[in-house]
């Protein structure tokens, strides 16, 4: 009941303007004496771990700088020869791609073609595996490459900015296919195709890529395509992008790109952790 009431309330709010406003506030410079107290208070409220940050909290000039902090070297070892988690997150859904369908939550499904914005591309993933990874405000907000390979395309798809928490996933139809998102296509080093889809959400100022200036919540809300020739070569665990607050990544692998192994909904994963196997060389 609470979840439905929350979604009804959000439906009448200007979510894009609110999210841009939240981003503006998060980017304001905090006076030096207040930086430590502000970032530590945020960490206490949301459960973030400032001791993992690459810098002392006093050196982050804004909330957004702290949200998008890098980590101390060595804290996230990257599994060798595997599909790895691109983010620190909680597993929201896992399964096989069947008849263009992914699970959003119990009793709710959505179309992979709608998520990718391209039915022809979606056909490549039939019979493959996918996982939905939810980042909460406590999590490390940077995104990393789940495999080694070539980034060949990226598409910004404007849309809504519903929250992506449990209440929204249970109550908003086709949530990940209607929210703002960036669809990034990769060719695996060992073959196959992988789609990495960072999904925007309410109060996420922007979702940005490390290798392009594409971002969500753009003022010009129109589809923008990128094709990379030559492609962008990237290694497993390399910088891929970041969220300016928490959100979700949907990771989809074609059958010939490897297999994401079964994951239990609610399981916590860390960036670099093995999620599945790659094809043999």
Active-site residue set: 88, 144, 247
User: Distance from CA of residue 259 to its chain's centroid?
Assistant: 19
Query: Apex CA 259: angle with CA 255 and CA 264, to 5°?
Result: 130
Contact 181, 157 (CB under 8 A): yes
Of residues 238, 172, 239, the one with CA closest to residue 202: 172
Query: How far is it, in rounded angstroms, from Cα 58 to Cα 197?
Result: 33
Q: What are phi and psi of 242, to 5 degrees?
A: -160, 160
CA torsion 195-198-199-201 (nearest 10°) is 170
**C-alpha distances in Å from residue 254, one per residue of 95, 98, 248, 257:** 12, 12, 20, 5
Cβ contact 191:148 at 8 Å: no
């Amino acid at each position: 009941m609470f979840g439905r009431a929350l979604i009804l309330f959000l439906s009448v709010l200007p979510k894009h303007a609110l999210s841009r406003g939240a981003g503006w506030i998060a980017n304001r410079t905090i006076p030096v004496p207040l930086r430590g107290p502000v970032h530590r208070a945020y960490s206490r409220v949301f459960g973030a771990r400032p001791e993992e940050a690459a810098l002392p909290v006093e050196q982050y000039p804004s909330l957004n700088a702290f949200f998008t902090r890098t980590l101390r070297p060595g804290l996230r070892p990257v599994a060798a020869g595997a599909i790895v988690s691109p983010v620190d997150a909680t597993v929201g859904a896992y399964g096989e791609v069947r008849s263009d369908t992914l699970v959003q939550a119990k009793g709710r499904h959505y179309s992979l073609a709608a998520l990718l914005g391209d039915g022809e591309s979606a056909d490549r993933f039939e019979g493959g595996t996918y996982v939905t990874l939810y980042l909460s405000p406590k999590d490390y907000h940077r995104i990393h490459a789940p495999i080694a390979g070539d980034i060949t395309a990226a598409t910004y798809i404007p849309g809504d900015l519903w929250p992506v928490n449990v209440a929204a996933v249970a109550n908003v139809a086709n949530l990940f296919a209607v929210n703002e998102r960036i669809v990034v296509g990769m060719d695996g080093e060992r073959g196959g195709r992988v789609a990495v889809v960072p999904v925007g959400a309410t109060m996420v100022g922007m979702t940005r890529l490390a290798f392009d200036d594409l971002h969500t919540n753009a003022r010009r809300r129109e589809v923008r395509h990128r094709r990379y020739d030559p492609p962008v070569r990237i290694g497993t665990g390399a910088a891929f992008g970041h969220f300016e607050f928490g959100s979700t990544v949907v990771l989809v692998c074609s059958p010939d790109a490897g297999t994401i192994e079964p994951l239990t909904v609610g399981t916590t994963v860390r960036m670099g952790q093995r999620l599945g196997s790659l094809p043999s060389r």
